[in-house]
Amino acid sequence: MTPPLLAIRGLRAAYGKIEALKGVDIEINAGEIVALIGANGAGKSTLMMTIFGKPRARAGRIEFDGDDITGVPTHQIARLRIAQSPEGRRIFPRMSVAENLQMGADVTECSEAERAAVLERVFALFPRLKERINQRGGTLSGGEQQMLAIGRALMSRPRLLMLDEPSLGLAPLIARQIFDAIRTLNRQDGLTVLIVEQNANHALKLAHRGYVMVNGLITLSGTGSELLQRPEIRAAYLEGGRRG
């Protein structure tokens, strides 16, 4: 069996005295979509940030492709071709769409031809970005900004793409377009994706496997469809606890 692309073991992280991650174990195999679901404040975003070295891990180990990256400085993580689309999109509002995309490509060394190829791929996935290529990022709609954030992350030709709440604040139709694009990326390009979501239903349908996080610990894991069937998941994340 090949080792997982990303392996996290016993990871602990804290903001001051408040421990946000209390020993998290996660594995992501190459070519998989893995969903991480959980309520607000469960530590999902912290886990993503800790992989990027901010906040630093207090204990545990993060391995990427067999190498220990636990102590690697934040700005070097992206050079390992782990890309992140942060929560709330965080595009550069006064810069044009083209510049936003270029920012994603700046960090990793790649030839002009490779860059053009990735750009074509991003435009194929999100034709709207091509239409708006010379507009300022801030003039885009929320959905387009999310497309831009994902496109920007893709520009570094990542081996692992981490998405933090890509459906945040989007209309259901636009959210579905985003999820479709992620599925396409995974099927056609073999991209490995870690997706952090509140929208458990969508995320688990999309993902091969899922993890459920509660109070800084992984409480459940399994394939996407397995988790969708679990009564406690249905009660907690899908029906809004209306039964209880």
Partner 1 sequence: MTASTLEKQPAPRASGAAFILKKATISALVALVLFSLMIGVRTEAGPQGGLIYWTRFGDLAAIVAAVFGGSIVVELLRQWWGPADRVRVVPPVVQNALSLAGRLLAPALLIFTFLVPVIFYDQRYILDLAILVLTYVMLGWGLNVVVGLAGLLDLGYVAFYAVGAYSYALLATNFGLSFWVCLPLAGILAAFWGVLLGFPVLRLRGDYLAIVTLAFGEIIRLVIINWQSLTGGPNGISGIPRPTLFGIPLTPGEDGLAARLGIEFSPTHRIVFLFYLILALALLTNWVTIRLRRLPIGRAWEALREDEVACRALGINTTTTKLTAFATGAMFGGFAGAFFATRQGFISPESFTFQESALVLAIVVLGGMGSQLGVALAALAMIGGFELFRGLDQYRMLVFGIAMVLLMIWRPRGLIGHRAPTVYLERNQAISSDLVKEGHG
Task: Give the binding site for partner 1 (CB under 8 A).
Answer: 52, 54, 73-79, 84-86, 89-96, 98-99, 101-104, 106-108, 119, 133-142, 145, 152-153, 156
Which residue number, 96 or 198, has a Cβ lying nearer to partner 1? Answer: 96
Which residue number, 145 or 233, has a Cβ lying nearer to partner 1? Answer: 145
- Least distance in angstroms from the C-beta of 192 to partner 1: 17
Which residue number, 141 or 184, has a Cβ lying nearer to partner 1? Answer: 141
- Least distance in angstroms from the C-beta of 4 to partner 1: 22
Which residue number, 139 or 219, has a Cβ lying nearer to partner 1? Answer: 139
Quick one: CA dihedral 84, 81, 10, 61, positive or negative?
Answer: negative
Whole-number Å distance between alpha carbons of 121 and 151: 9
Whole-number Å distance between alpha carbons of 129 and 98: 9
Do the beta carbons of residue 156 and residue 78 sit within 8 Å?
yes
Instruction: Give the 3-state secondary structure of residue 239.
Output: coil
- Least distance in angstroms from the C-beta of 152 to partner 1: 7
Q: How far is CA 76 from CA 81, 105, 107, in A?
A: 9, 14, 9
- Least distance in angstroms from the C-beta of 50 to partner 1: 13
- Least distance in angstroms from the C-beta of 184 to partner 1: 21
Longest dimension (CA), the chain: 57
Query: How many whole angstroms from its chain centre is CA 3?
Result: 21
Which residue number, 133 or 220, has a Cβ lying nearer to partner 1? Answer: 133
